[in-house]
Structure 1
């Protein structure tokens, strides 16, 4: 079959586009099996069926098209859009992930020089931005599970690739969450295994900074993960193979307000240790964090989160006080100030939160009382203003009535005077 040309669609291909718009996966599957249908055909705008499905947010159809050999990096669109760009515009993180897994290029740009992540950010699809910016293919990690050259064994044991990849793909950079991910997998609960993972992170970080298309964001993330793994490894060696104590250290808040000082210092130190001093991202992070006194906003975690995921940390959403997971809904029943994603996180945090819980409750009640008083004062002020407006209106109406009465009286007097004048008869 000839190479696709814009607008040169067969009847079956036009039908396929209609079926995709309707979301009929069964009929799309039938048409894709036809000889008259090219999976990478182009409509008059240069859009492929995969682009249409991605823009419509149809994950099942995207999967079907990819299975039939759809080109995920086709950019024949009139403005240079790719399927990943359309996935970002649709706001569907599962489709963005699917495109990335299929080999979508994250650094491809459209006709105005914007990447898929930048386009998603432009239309406010920040979750897609996070997925794109944090993607690291398993294939790239698996490279280190194979002995290279004269190596007798690979740098990363194959059994560690899965657990490590899960940590790499996490978009939650909270150190407590990262330690939880380590604890969740028995294969990582070993100081030696963690040290091997850390070394691989250092190698990837170096590769990201020395490759032709430097990726400072990914390099910083790999470095940060490496620092966390190193901390876990050293802690396991010093504390009888238990990471619970490390989580307590990261969560422990200062007496005055419960701010986790150790966590803040750890993140700042991790950033400071980034080995490539000339990196623009490092300089930006230092400028944002260095002038801020510990315990004030922005925190090092929020600045790092924004830099790596492309989102403002702790904005427009509720995050778990313990692990930093987005969408936390459970509040402390006493102070109703701190938020958790589940009871386990609340239990882990209680040892330090209980010291400031009562104080936070009093502060909240004080704010609520002041707010209620302000509302009451505003209501009273509104009533007074309304009363003044009514009085003013009545006075104005009375003045108008008096003027009208006076005017009528003058007319009557004038009439009477005219009638009193004698008429001379001649």
Structure 2
């Protein structure tokens, strides 16, 4: 720890090589190096980071699994800023790596040097899916409880072989019915013992709603998963091939006129309606949001359910999800219309029966979209060019035109006798006998008296105050008999100029 704090690199050559391989090498090279040199998997670099933390930050799930299986400490906090492996995994944006850290026992309440948890750090950098994984994490110990007989029970409520699959399913952040159905299809044990699975899920709903601190989110999530499993099992029993292909195609079959997934929408609405605890605040919120929306309009019941369980930010990320299973950040697109997006070829194959009806229409929409974007780019480019031209002309006027104007302009034109350019102590004009007041002689006082006492002189008092209104009023005072009056709002003749 002292090494990390002081910044002195006291690592052995094998430890240095390990960090270099994790940073830039292949997984096979890292595994071979650890097995050959027997280097400690919890060694520290100059900043106190472990190989597990570095692999988590790189989002390398395979290396993280290898280090954890070899005894790496998931809660190591020797980093100079007290970052944990869970924080690095959340910052990487990799959901599976984040979940792996949680399953290994990572402390979700650990804070770094700026008093922030892994959830707060992930939210700060916009990794909302990792935030949802942490907030909705369901520990496997909760499921393992039902794999053992309790009390007078002779048989456990849930077979041991199913518990890891059910735990993974509960930890899903993607609640799309097709995604759940594809997972069930890949693990047929769930369908074989679907009654036991649904019973355990109903117990979890009851436990989370009747506990001292209710967990509406987990309860509604377990209830919805139970509904999908029950309906999928019923569909499988009716299917001739004893598979879920027919059920999945039914879920993704859209209406002919607009492709809207009406069956899926009705399934989700019915599931929410059947939730057994009507007093749930989250349920009432969902009902208020869904009830006014007509089937076929936005927002869909699925988007509102995902937002309620995972947060609004996750729902926004799902808008660009796979058109088949709803998995966020799907990269593949239909080669014809460029509008439909998929996770993989399997999702595209499943969705083709519905998509082929809408593909020509979507292709036209894509062309129109491209044209609009092109016109918008041209408009912005023209505006930018026009602004640059205007700025160039302004710069030329400043450099050329302004200088010539300054050369032609006289220093000052004395248009009136009360011009404001004179300093307050200057005196303009002559007194009786052609005598002038000195520039240094103060105005007012004795000088003012002398001029006021001169009855034969043609004098008038002009205000030298800063206020233009006062100067205008002073210029109007030309009555010879009012020479002893003060033409200023100040009430005295201080600051005034006597002009004969």
Distance 1:79 1:390 in 2: 50
Match of 2:163 in 1: 161
Matches of residues 25-36 of structure 1 in structure 2 within 5 Å? none
Matched, 1:182 2:184: yes
CA offsets per residue over residues 154-199 of structure 1, 9 Å max, x none?
1112232233233223332111111111112232343xx1122111
What TM-score results when the alignment is normalised by the length of structure 2? 0.61
Per-residue CA deviations over 1:317-345 (Å, capped at 9, x if unaligned) read 74211112233233223322111222322
The residue number in structure 2 matching 1:269 is: 270
After superposition, where does 1:20-419 map in structure 2 within 5 Å? 23=19, 70=73, 72=75, 84-85=86-87, 87-89=89-91, 91=93, 93=95, 96-106=98-108, 116-190=118-192, 193-240=193-240, 241-310=242-311, 311-315=313-317, 318-372=320-374
Structure 1 counterpart SS, 2:317: coil
Distance 1:245 1:15, change over 3 A: same
| Contact 2:108–2:117 (8 Å) recurs in 1 | yes
Aligned in 2, Cα 1:298/1:79: closer, same or farther, shift over 3 Å? farther
Unaligned segments of structure 2, at least 5 residues: 21-29, 410-500
With over 3 angstroms needed to count, the CA separation of the structure-2 counterparts of 1:22 and 1:214, relative to structure 1, is: farther
Q: CA deviation at 1:102?
A: 2.9
Indicate the SS of the match to 1:222.
Answer: helix
Q: Distance in 2 between matches of 1:111 and 1:286?
A: 42
1:84–1:200 distance in 2 versus 1, CA, 3 Å: same
The 1:280–1:14 alpha-carbon spacing in structure 2 relative to 1, beyond 3 Å, is farther
Bigger RCO (CA 8 Å, 6+ sep): 1
1:392 and 1:66 map into 2 onto residues whose CA distance is 69
Greater Cα offset, 224-233 or 101-110: 101-110
Deviations 1:16-37 (A, max 9, x none): 89x799937989x97969xxxx
SS in 2 for 1:355: helix
Shift of residue 228, structure 1, vs aligned partner = 0.7
Superposition deviation, residue 136 in structure 1: 2.2
2:449 is matched with none
TM-score where L is the length of structure 1: 0.70
Deviations 1:200-253 (A, max 9, x none): 111112222333443332222211111111111222344443422221221111
Unaligned runs of 5+ in 1: 1-5, 34-38, 42-46, 408-426
> How far apart, CA to CA, are the structure 1 residues paired with 2:377 and 2:387?
15
Do the aligned residues in 1 keep the contact of 2:57 with 2:91 (CA within 8 Å)?
no
SS in 1 for 2:330: coil
Cα pair 1:55 1:87 within 8 Å, conserved: yes
Change (3 A) 1:270 1:390: same
Question: Are residues 95 and 212 of structure 1, via their aligned partners in 2, closer, same or farther at CA, if it must alter by over 3 Å?
Answer: farther
Q: Which has the higher helix share?
A: 1
Using the alignment, how far apart are the partners of 1:243 and 1:337 within structure 2?
A: 27
